[in-house]
Chain A
């Protein structure tokens, strides 16, 4: 301590008078707790009598000014509690401070050990940050000038630890009304208060929420943004010291985060506005203010998610802070972002475990209005296996990079570790997939779902059509039943979705066509059976039995149709009390039609779509059958050719000779 004190005396000439007075106090504090004293000594080679609450505060501020990463909020809370306890109990006498310090030291020491690395005494605070911090103390400029002069920064030309601490102490003195003099800092003072930590407003507006994102907020506040002034009228929270504020920040931050990243990506992609990539942080603060003032609840969140369209310019820039968190990492994907990415992935590719092809992704990412070389580079970074397609983690990484780039971050030289596919896969995606799936199903439009489901069923059906001929017939017939049932399933879905809108023509028409369809399939299968009969008797038996099975197959599907239409009819009847048809089911088919005069157009469109789907399916079935027939013919031709070649070979030697 003594050499440190001597050095401090040498450097800060103005506080030289206090050195002699401070040295014994410092020595006493050093004697109180060995390890704690070592900690305090390493961080405060000052002749000032600092209570350890002030110690914590100042060291934190100094760390911030040095752009060192902040520690966890637990550290803050513990330091705040220790500072509050110590400041309450402390007095001007050094002995009491030492006693309280001995009680409070082990705890902050432990926290310090756990927390981030505070800069050593030799570090210097960045002039900009220091200046901003001082301005945030809301003292008049002359006072600040005086303080800087007094603390010796001007003399030495930089803000070292000692100068910084002295300056903070002077600020505290000035804020409590004492004259800015060296003597005023000798006594015990409350912690200096700094205004500019704008996130306070948001935090205070939502004190009740508590999520696990504690680490991120203090970061948002302490990091680059924290020291800029905010020129809006909301300055009520300046009473809280900066150390105290993080206590409430964790609860409220998630709200800001949740609001922030949502709108972020949307605006980036859809609005295509030119952002200020130079990213002045003041505007971000403004936006955060607006966020805090406008909505303090989660109400806007789901709506914003649903809208997924152009958001305000200011809101879009905020996510950068949410990105730039969590140990100083703009490349870490937050939960909301991840969910958004997953939803976007689903919009392109419903199967989460499958790929998005290169062309599809290209079209999608081109909408982000980044330049092609940049997009090419982003692709290069994110497509780790270089297969020309993006899996879900690769897609999230690419999306995140695009979002970051749009916010002004330069693209990294290599893919950050937090964006690696394996990291994303293990860390986030697996546990989230189930939830994301459910979310997506609840969120996505039912109309979109239906064509997708139908398409899936159709594709699965089409896949089955490539089997061998005999099996094909059986499958085709079964598939007809499948298709019919799928159509029927789709029908109730339709109906359930728009019951009020289109009660009329939907139920009846599908009831009729399936039966002719089934009859058609029976006929076709019979036709196909004939060529098969010529081949093997076993095949005929097989094909014969499936045909018989089809008849019972065809009948059951019709019944469910009718049954499903019954409730619909009843629903319709509820809506149209004037309808004549009461409880009958099948007879309602012809009788419902006259009642379908209401809202015909929309139902006609639906009907048209349904018929188109049905026709396409029929065409598919026909083509599949044709395919199988042609393949059979091809085989026959092959066999004939082989036979002919054999004959030719037999004949040839005769001609040669």
Chain B
């Protein structure tokens, strides 16, 4: 179950971050923040190859005893970070990939809205609904 989903802008500030349960929000925020370093490391490692070949899905960034952190980066350097509960029956990689793909599609839809200025926080209800479905569904 995805306990926390975050969308980080290119400049490494959050565009959207949401977690359940709410009381551990701070911890998840911290986790996401620290995971950004890992993301950067992975991106730079892959970046030597041509950008076209770089894969968007970064995979498991790092595991802790309670949860695992997965990362995904878009071509415009927008990062999606997902924190998944480890206790849950291990989610397969495919599922994580599909979740990221859905996230990416929803993010693109948000981008298409002319009233959305890139760099603003994301307030789109459709995006919220999609994230909610992802956080609840696996539960």
Contact = CB atoms under 8 A, between A and B. Distances in A.
A591 B109 CA distance: 65
A379 interface: yes
Nearest to A413: B125
B113 A380 contact: yes
A230 to B, nearest CB: 39
B136 interface: no
A298 interface: no
B112 to A, nearest CB: 4
A387 B112 contact: yes
Contacts of A377: 124-125
Interface string B72-109: 00000000000000000000000000000000000011
B118 to A, nearest CB: 13
B30 interface: no
A362 B112 contact: no
Nearest to B113: A379
Contacts of B113: 358, 376, 379-380, 383, 388
B114 A379 contact: yes
Interface string A343-386: 00000000000000011011000000000110111011001001
B114 A380 contact: no
Contacts of A383: 112-113
A387 B123 CA distance: 18
Size class of B's contact patch? 10 to 19
A505 to B, nearest CB: 44
A386 B125 contact: no
Contact of B109 (A362, A372, A386): A386
Contact of B112 (A373, A386, A413): A386
B116 interface: yes
A239 B109 CA distance: 58
A348 B58 CA distance: 44
* 8 closest A-B pairs by CB: A358-B114, A388-B112, A376-B115, A362-B114, A386-B109, A375-B115, A379-B113, A386-B112
Given A362-B114, A379-B114, 18 more contacts: A358-B112, A358-B113, A358-B114, A361-B114, A362-B115, A372-B115, A373-B123, A375-B115, A376-B113, A376-B116, A376-B124, A377-B125, A379-B115, A380-B113, A386-B108, A386-B109, A387-B112, A388-B111
25 contacts: A358-B113, A358-B114, A359-B114, A361-B114, A362-B115, A372-B115, A375-B115, A376-B113, A376-B116, A376-B123, A376-B124, A377-B124, A379-B115, A380-B113, A380-B124, A380-B126, A383-B113, A386-B109, A386-B112, A387-B112, A388-B111, A388-B112, A388-B113, A388-B114, A413-B125
Interface of B: 108-109, 111-116, 123-126
